[in-house]
Amino acid sequence: MSGLLAARAGNRPAAVPWVPAALLVLTAIAYPLTEGGAVRDAVSWTIVLLGSTVSVVHAAVSRGTRTGAGVLLVTAATAVVFESVGLSTGVPYGEYGYSDDLGPTLLGVPFLVPLAWLLMAWPSWLLARRLTRDVRPARRRPARVAVAAAVFAGWDVVLDPQMVQAGYWTWAHPQPSLPGIDTVPLTNLAGWLLAGLVLMTLLDLLVARTALEPPRTGDGAPLLVLGWMTLGGAVAHAGWLGLPGSAVWGVLLAVPVLIALAVQARRP
């Protein structure tokens, strides 16, 4: 009996990240069903706050409090640096500007933005870790960083058109762009790939130096967030938000990942 109680007590921390993850899914379902304005702004804030909570809590529960705190600080600092430089110089994303709807700022960067980076950065690294686990040890770290950066940038391909539609930011020169997405320039994708490479390198080093091994929990909750924000976002774009181009890109970018995961699952 005492062993059973101890096992149940040990499982409680593992369940903690699932609570904000489930709430995020429910809130994200509500987003396309709301009209614009204050209600949709509140839904957007709630999604980002819940998603960033999933990342920090999961990192802390699975790899230790030092890793959880490091994920928060490293991601937020990197986001503010890249975004503030981007706002003032147009490098590396292109020339853009935020609306006042996103609220308070730091160095011109709305607080919501680094939290949005946090929402997706940790799940992107976790997915890359899973996808590259069969790579030779000598090549695993660069492969993991590259894949994580690609996943991170791919998420923005789906997100950015939605945020432009909501009026949260706009581009001075949105062309040339990906086919089907005429409001976001290709420079933004290049900038996200660069920012992703920097951030994922820092996160990889952070985990190597601070994380408990083996991880104390699985990665289900943050991967649910990642999957829902990409594939769920694509469904919302196609069915409710009038953004078929980004919906198609979301599916196209997700298919290779799903195939790779399926192949891994079939291996003995």
Burial class (CB in 10 A: 0-12, 13-18, 19+), 263: exposed
Q: What is the pLDDT of residue 217?
A: 92
Share of residues in the chain with pLDDT > 90 (%): 83
pLDDT of residue 2: 37
pLDDT at 5 over 70: no
**179-188: pLDDT as tens digits:** 999 999 999 9
| Whether residue 7 has pLDDT greater than 60 | no
Percent of the chain surpassing pLDDT 70: 95
Average pLDDT over residues 134-159: 95
Does residue 9 surpass a pLDDT of 70?
no
Whole-number pLDDT of residue 262: 86
Average of pLDDT values for 52-79? 98
Mean pLDDT of 168-190: 96
Residue 242, class by beta-carbon neighbours within 10 Å (0-12 exposed, 13-18 middle, 19+ buried)? exposed
Q: For 168-175, which contacts have Cβ atoms below 8 Å and span 24 or more sequence positions?
A: 168/44, 168/98, 168/99, 168/101, 168/102, 169/96, 169/97, 169/98, 169/99, 169/102, 170/96, 170/97, 170/99, 171/94, 171/95, 171/96, 172/94, 172/95, 172/96, 172/97, 173/94, 173/95
Looking at every residue in the chain, the average pLDDT score rounds to 92
Which residues contact residue 149 at a Cβ distance below 8 angstroms, ignoring those fewer than 6 apart?
124, 193, 196, 197, 199, 200
**Cα 178 from Cα 246, distance rounded (Å):** 9
Give the per-residue pLDDT at 169. Answer: 95
**Digit-coded pLDDT (tens) for 90-134:** 999 999 999 998 889 999 999 999 999 999 999 999 999 999 999
Model pLDDT, residue 268: 63
- Residues 208-262 pLDDT 10s: 999 998 999 999 999 999 999 988 999 999 999 999 999 999 999 999 998 888 8
Contact 147, 155 (CB under 8 A): no
Furthest C-alpha separation in the chain? 66
